[in-house]
Amino acid sequence: MPDTQALVNDFLNKLKKRKIEGSQATAKQTAELLRSVISQTRMPYTNQASALIHSVKAVGERLIAANPVELAVGNVVRRVLHIIREEDLSLTTAAMAGLNLSAESDDEDDTDRDNHPALSAAAIAAASRSTLRPPSLQTLLEDVPDSAAVPHTSSSGGDSEGKSKSADKSSRSRKLKHDVIEAVNELIQDISTCRELIAEQAVEHIHQNEVILTLGSSRTVLEFLCAAKEKKRSFRVFVAEGAPRYQGHLLAKELVTRGLQTTLITDSAVFAMISRVNMVIVGAHAVMANGGVIAPVGLNMVALAAQKHAVPFVVLAGSHKLCPLYPHHPEVLLNELRSPSELLDFGEFSDCLDFGSGIGAPLLHVVNPTFDYVPPKLVSLFITDTGGHNPSYMYRLIADYYSADDLVLERRTASGN
């Protein structure tokens, strides 16, 4: 089996050098890496969940630092941490339920167990969701007095009891890791199929003879539009070219190849054309906890034009793009600057340098941001692999995927040292 550290280092290099294109591919590879980390983590005798959480956090912090702009990495790390907590809670609740059932079936020799009331489900859940967990839920099970657990019989019986108890702990350790890996496999499957699940909803939103506007290139938008075409919907697509990378040219070509009526326009023509449009459908880089969208540069302009003309602005995003952080959060890096060569070639740029000053200081500065931030008030609807949602509901949907204890990974680790 490949060494985990080698896998982590290789993936870190890919993130730093931006060799992985797209949030979906990044999220899937992150989940696969964390699955390998979990499978090769040595489980201690107690606090198995804490050991898994520590291993995932240690790797996750390095992955996030390697490419802070790719929020899908942090999203998947937090999703896996949430999975560990939920599986640990499930096993602990089941164990405590079994303990209560055995207590009810004991004979009168075990009446002294009444002095040790069973923990409520709320207490178990609260203890399980605690990050530091002193004592852990595993310890809660281990600390039940012997007199309350099993009546003393003989020394040989005690030895047998100890072996059985040790076997139960070993079995629980294997069960936790197995359940977590199975849940991570389901997460990987969800990431892989999110585009198909989003595309299945296209026929509910795109109607006959409508005009759809989009900007740049998004594989999710492409599959969404093509799914509507396959359902015999006849409509036209306006594609803004998405300067300076002109990804809209690629999308327009792909749409034409698949038989859709397509019109390519410049970004500056969006406001002039928006009055003819029935709906704006775009992809997203990330969806924040407040319903705001980090999207390719230029989309805020499109959203403002859509609001001015009362045109619905619809955002397509897989669940791996739902980020539990807010835009003002210090861990969120909203933007990065791309190379000036996408706007000017180096020959033109060198002509603008003031060599007479002797320091070669440029008189011309080129700013080439990658993303825009679209506030939630400009978004009409989110379509995810779980269905359509209003921006005001996104915080509740995000809360189902993440634990509050994992929102700030670095601060939590620092406080624990």
Two structure tokens written together for 25? 């591919």
The pLDDT value recorded for residue 330 is 75
Domain residue extents for the chain: 195-401
- For residue 264, what is the enclosing H or E element? strand 261-265
Higher-confidence residue: 139 or 208?
Answer: 208
For residue 73, pLDDT over 90 is answered with yes
Cross-strand bridge partners of residue 263: 238
Question: Is residue 100 very low, low, confident or very high in pLDDT (cuts 50, 70, 90)?
Answer: low
Among 48-62, 102-116, 261-275, name the one with the lowest average pLDDT: 102-116
The pLDDT value recorded for residue 108 is 47
Distance CA 384, CA 394 (A): 10
Question: Is residue 293 very low, low, confident or very high in pLDDT (cuts 50, 70, 90)?
Answer: very high
| The pairing of beta strand 293-296 with beta strand 286-287 | antiparallel
Higher-confidence residue: 41 or 161?
Answer: 41
The pLDDT value recorded for residue 103 is 59
For residue 305, pLDDT over 70 is answered with yes
Nearest Cα to Cα of residue 378 among 283, 311, 324, 321: 311
| The pairing of beta strand 371-374 with beta strand 286-287 | unpaired
Two structure tokens written together for 142? 């281990």
Question: Is residue 333 very low, low, confident or very high in pLDDT (cuts 50, 70, 90)?
Answer: confident
The pLDDT value recorded for residue 110 is 52
The pLDDT value recorded for residue 44 is 84
Q: Half-sphere exposure of residue 369, counting CA atoms within 13 Å on the CB side?
A: 13
For residue 65, pLDDT over 90 is answered with yes
Higher-confidence residue: 90 or 146?
Answer: 90
Percent of the chain with pLDDT over 90: 64
For residue 123, pLDDT over 60 is answered with no
The pLDDT value recorded for residue 148 is 40
The pLDDT value recorded for residue 264 is 97
The pLDDT value recorded for residue 386 is 94
For residue 132, pLDDT over 50 is answered with no
Distance CA 261, CA 276 (A): 15
Alpha-carbon distances of 227 from 48, 132, 394, rounded to whole Å: 45, 47, 25
Among 27-31, 37-41, 65-69, 110-114, name the one with the lowest average pLDDT: 110-114
- For residue 315, what is the enclosing H or E element? strand 313-316
Question: Is residue 102 very low, low, confident or very high in pLDDT (cuts 50, 70, 90)?
Answer: low
Q: Half-sphere exposure of residue 14, counting CA atoms within 13 Å on the CB side?
A: 17
CB 273 within 8 A of CB 213: yes
Q: 249 in the Ramachandran plot: left (φ > 0), alpha (ψ -120 to 50) or beta?
A: alpha
For residue 164, pLDDT over 90 is answered with no
Alpha-carbon distances of 150 from 115, 139, 154, 161, 164, rounded to whole Å: 14, 17, 12, 9, 12
Would you give the DSSP letter of residue 310? T
For residue 142, pLDDT over 70 is answered with no
For residue 140, pLDDT over 50 is answered with no
Two structure tokens written together for 351? 């002509």
The pLDDT value recorded for residue 365 is 82
Question: Is residue 157 very low, low, confident or very high in pLDDT (cuts 50, 70, 90)?
Answer: low
The pLDDT value recorded for residue 64 is 95
| Average pLDDT score over residue span 68-79 | 96
Query: May I ask the CATH class of domain 195-401?
Result: alpha beta
| The pairing of beta strand 293-296 with beta strand 371-374 | antiparallel
Mean pLDDT, the chain, rounded, equals 84
Sheet holding 387-389, edge to edge: 261-265, 236-240, 211-215, 279-283, 313-316, 381-384, 387-389
For residue 122, pLDDT over 90 is answered with no
The pLDDT value recorded for residue 166 is 54
Higher-confidence residue: 226 or 142?
Answer: 226
The pLDDT value recorded for residue 101 is 59
Question: Is residue 417 very low, low, confident or very high in pLDDT (cuts 50, 70, 90)?
Answer: very low
Amino acid at 174: R
The pLDDT value recorded for residue 323 is 95
Alpha-carbon distances of 37 from 55, 62, 235, rounded to whole Å: 7, 13, 47
Distance CA 123, CA 134 (A): 14
The pLDDT value recorded for residue 98 is 72
Percent of the chain with pLDDT over 70: 76
